[in-house]
Amino acid sequence: MILDERDRDRTVEIPLGGVLDVRLQENPTTGYTWTVEAADGLERVGDSFEAGGAALGAAGVRVFRFRAARPGSLELRLKHWREWEGEASVTDRFEALIIAK
């Protein structure tokens, strides 16, 4: 299953052991990146950046891949921020409730 910005605050069902990709717009050259804030019961099995073009500093998509490691309601929270500037730098959040069966 693939989630993106349009799936913010959704509840989705995946099978136990199933894989979930979260794709969010990012331009890491600005210093702002997406970070996992909470993913209890979800095992992170991938984290990559897909550049949107060949130009140096081009924006693209951050792709997080998770596997449902235990059954039940699993909360996923991500934040877009500059880590070295702390919580005051958070510009966006992505949250979803994952039901693993």
- The pLDDT tens digits for 47-94 are 999 887 767 777 899 999 999 999 999 999 999 999 999 999 999 999
Residue scoring higher pLDDT (29 or 22): 22
Q: pLDDT at position 89, please?
A: 96
pLDDT of residue 19 exceeding 80, the answer is yes
Q: pLDDT at position 52, please?
A: 77
d(CA 13, CA 23): 17
Look up residue 92 and give its two tokens. Answer: 């966006």
d(CA 72, CA 55): 43
Q: pLDDT at position 53, please?
A: 72
Q: What is the pLDDT of residues 34-47, one digit of tens each?
A: 999 999 899 999 99
d(CA 10, CA 6): 9
